Structure formats: C-alpha cells, structure tokens
Structure 1
C-alpha cells in the first residue's frame, strides 16, 4: 500500500513533466522508488534536466530523492533553487527545515519555521517543531501552548506541555491538558503515567491508585510504583505502601524517598524496630560517597575568604560522613599554617598518613606531611 501511494505521488508530481519534451522512463523511476534506490533516482532525473533548470517540479523531485538518499547538501541546493522560484511554498520550507534539522543547523531550521508561521499562523506542525528547538521551559511553553490550542488531542504535544507545566509546578494546568488528551486516547499509557505523577502533586490520591494499579498490570514502572506508594501512605493504607516499596527495594531501585515512607509506615503500624531500620536506611541512602568532598570544597571557599573557623567547622562536618584523606590533609594545613595549633596539626597529619594515601599520586603531600610532623614535634 505504501509503495502504491508513493508511486501515485511520483506520477502526480511528474504529470506536467511528461507532457513536456523531456522523456522520462516511468518504469525505471518506479523501480528506483520501490527498491528505495533514491540516489540512482536522483542521478537519473539530473541526467534529464540541465543544471540551471527552472522547472519547479523537477527541482523538488530531485531534491526529494537526494534528501531520501541522505545527500543533504545536494538536496538543499535544489530546494533553495525551488524556494527562489516559489518563496512561499510551505512544502519546500518544511523540507528545508528538515534538512537543516538533520544537519544540526537549528538556527536555519527555526528561521524556516518562523517563515512558515508568518505564512500560516495556524500551522500545528511548525509550532510543534519550534517547541522542540527551545531550551528554556518558558520558550517551549509558548509554542507548546499554541500547538495544544490547535490540536488538544495530540499526545506528543500534550505530554511535552504537561511535562513543562510540571517543571514549573503548575500541576493543575498539566492535569487539565492530560485529561483532555486522554479523553481522545484512553489507552495511551504514556499519558497516564504523567497523569499519575501530576495527580499525586495535586493530592488526588485515589485517582493515583486507581490509574496507577491499571498501569502496573501493563508494566511495572518504578516511577508509577513510587507515586502509588505515596498515595497509599496518604490514604493511610500503610501495608500497601510498604508492599509497593518493598518490591522496589528488592529490585534495587529504592531511593531515600521510598525508604523514608517505609520508615513512616512502619512507625504508624507501631513496628518500631523496622521503622528504625528503615530510618537508618533512609539516612544511608541520602548520603553520597562524595559528601566529604563537597564539604572539603565548601571549607576551601571559607579558607579563601580567611574565614578559618567556618572552614574548620565545614571540614569536621565532612568527616562525619566518612574518612577523607583530602580533609585530613587540609585540616592539618589549616591548623598548621592559619590557626597556629601545632598539636592539632600533627594529629591530622598523622591521620592523613595512617589513612593510606596513594603513594605515587600523593607523594609530594606525603613528604610534606612527614617533614612537618618532624618540624612540629618539638613545638609546644
């Protein structure tokens, strides 16, 4: 069927060409199209027309074949010629947009789309594509809202617009957009997944549970399970909250939020032993292995500002999350060079050396620590 439609498209576009003196072997051209040999089709057409041809149909057909063959510079060249002849031709402008998009030239692509909108202010496809080129939520919102106004049932636009609204914490607007689109496609699981998350923000917990449970029958999505678990907690069905989050934990996709709700659920069920276990798991999950390094960075900033007491507090806070050679060494230097507390400096130089720093990578620091310990040994 697709091949037949393509053939009819080709014949239609060459209807006027056949009436001219140029003789086209339609059977050969059809074979090229059916076998997707677009490069050969382009070469064949180019052999029939002079390079400076002004025939709009010939130019657009050669451009199309080159575009389908991936020969984008050649395709753009022909479309640009056609655009000069017919500057307000929407299909040509869309083709030029497509070519520049594929080549990563977003500036040109956006320029052509803006031209399309000036010619046709209700062109849904142009607004949809422009939204994809915007980086800021506000920029995307402008074009997505317009596209959604033109076609409220389009699932892609509804999804993108709802996601932007959610990012901006405009949950009711996201919810309304999704409900309208879902009414036209009640089996769209992707839209339902976003709806579950949005409804959760709005406190529509029964809807989250109802829609979410249906989604889980199709696919056990971790994000949906996360939302359902929260909903069960807020409707005080603590056993189901725990059951949902237990599945996530067993799959290794728990996070500090799911563990936290489990701790609270066990507490509400007066199972305090398990509540304590999951409270500790929550804390452990929330702490990154890089946390000491982050505190070291913060302390370093304080040092640069000569706020040595604040730096000291930040370094010591970092050590509460685990041992750190960086912090031990920096603390030793702080006590040694700025706070003039040699005994404390020796303590932290020693801790640095005992924590097994990398011998080759930290050779200079190791040598310095050892030398300073000797120098400070006799200091009172």
Structure 2
C-alpha cells in the first residue's frame, strides 16, 4: 500500500510535535528535580545529615549545569545553582556565578544570594550594597527580612549601632518569631546605650526561646 505524500507529511509533522512535547516535559521535570534536590538538601541539613545534604546539593548543581547547557539564560537554573553552591560553603564560586548570571538579568534571588556570599568572605561593603539593592528592588520580597538582618549584622560589626537597630528592627517586624534576630537587636541597642529597649529585645528573644542563654545573659547585664 502506497501512502500518499500529504499523509506522510502529516505523520512527520505529528511525530515532530510529539518529540518536541516529550523534550519539553523532560526539561520541565529536570528543573523541578533541581529545586527538589536543593530542598532535600535543606531538609537533610536540618536533620543533621550533612554528608547526605552535600550530595543532594551537588546533584542539584549537576542538573542545573545540564539545564544551562541547553539554555544559557535560564535564571531559574542559575538561582538553584547559586543556592546550592552557597550551601556547600563555596562562597567565592557562588560570587563568581552570581555575577555571571547578573550580566544576563537583574534577578533579585541571585542578588540576595550574592549579598550573603560576600558577607561570608568578609566583604561587608559589597554585601551591604547587594542587600540594599535587593531591598530597593523587592521591599516585600521573600528574602527581605533576611536582607535586613544581614544589613543589621554588618552595621553592628562595623560599630554603626543606630543603623543596626533600624535594620534589625525591620527584620523582626517582617519575621517576629526569630529569636536570634531579637537577640542581635538587643546587642545593637545595648552597644548604643539604649538600655531599656535592649532589655525589651532580649526579653522578646527569651519569650520565643526560653533556654536562650546569651539573651538571658544580656538581660542580666542590664538589670
């Protein structure tokens, strides 16, 4: 039986559509898998299973590299890639890849990761610049509270205590259940001489975490 040419052309077109759909689905699954691997790493870290967490982060990086080979402008892949590098404490590499990605687009997720990475290599000036950049671009973003916290830490470590107070206060306003942040706010206020407000912050830290020794010690210093 001879198949007419127009039928053969139609079959070829349908085959191409099916192949394209299959590749698209596979690629989408790869993207989900990279994020899933990263989140698995976070869960393992929280459970104290560090070796397994590092394996999950490394696997996430490999998936992201494969995605970026297919699409070098995939900002979702760059995001999970840099998150995973950061969790592996590969801060210099995180900085390099973040800066590479930001040449393509000003993605706030990568800007915030870059700010954190600079903090851990003690480049406070550049870390603060990136955190402020994130806050300007995403004042109510998912990581806004974290950005304010890092800004507060930088101001406190560089002895700019009033600015630290403002930044930490913004952080706890956005995320009031974080005992560490209240404790750091107390330290900044104590250093700037605001005794009563420092006591209030230490007390808030203790109300969240009753066994917080450092906060209890801070409160005792101010009695």
Shared fold (TM-score, shorter chain, > 0.5): yes
Shift in CA distance, 155/96, structure 1 to aligned 2, threshold 3 Å: closer
Query: 1:196 maps to what in 2?
Result: 115
Residue 260 in structure 1 maps to residue 183 in structure 2: yes
Shift of 1:240: 0.9
Cα 1:137/1:215, change in 2 over 3 Å: closer
The answer to whether the aligner puts 1:213 opposite 2:157 as a matched pair is no
Corresponding residue pairs, total: 185
Shift of 1:265: 0.6
Contact 1:196 1:211 in 2 (8 A): yes
Seen in structure 2, the aligned counterparts of structure 1 residues 164 and 241 have a Cα distance that, compared at 3 Å, is: same
* C-alpha separation in 2, matches of 1:208 and 1:197: 6
Structure 1: stretches of 5+ with no match in the other structure: 1-16, 23-48, 50-54, 65-78, 80-91, 102-108, 110-125, 289-380
Change (3 A) 1:232 1:147: same
Question: Aligned partners of 2:209 and 2:72: how far apart in 1?
Answer: 40
* CA distance in structure 1 between the aligned counterparts of 2:119 and 2:182, rounded to whole angstroms: 18
- 8 Å contact from structure 2 (residues 183, 201) kept in 1: yes
User: Structure 2 matches for 1:1-380, cutoff 5 A?
Assistant: 22=6, 55=8, 57-58=10-11, 60-61=13-14, 64=17, 79=18, 92=19, 94-98=20-24, 101=25, 109=26, 130=30, 132-133=32-33, 135=37, 136-148=56-68, 154-185=74-105, 187-220=106-139, 221-251=144-174, 253=176, 255-287=178-210
Shift of 1:184: 3.2
Structure-2 separation of matches of 1:146 and 1:97: 14
Question: SS at 1:236's partner residue?
Answer: coil
More helix by share: 2
| CA RMSD of superposed structures (Å) | 3.2
Name the larger-Rg structure: 1
Q: Cα distance, 1:131 vs. partner?
A: 5.7
Q: CA deviation at 1:189?
A: 2.5
Check 1:235–1:183 CA distance in 2 against 1; reply closer, same or farther (3 A cut).
farther
Could you say which structure has the greater relative contact order, defined with CA pairs below 8 angstroms and 6 or more residues apart? 2
- TM score, norm. by length of structure 2: 0.68
Superposition deviation, residue 244 in structure 1: 1.6
* In 2: Cα distance, 1:283 partner to 1:152 partner: 48
With the length of structure 1 as denominator, give the TM-score of the two structures: 0.42
> Quick one: structure 1 residues 275 and 181, their matched pair in 2 at CA, closer, same or farther if it must change by over 3 Å?
same
| 1:287/1:167 CA distance change after superposition, 3 Å | farther
Q: Does the 8 A contact of 2:149 with 2:181 survive in 1?
A: yes
Going from structure 1 to structure 2, the CA distance change for 1:213 and 1:280 (only over 3 Å counts) comes to same
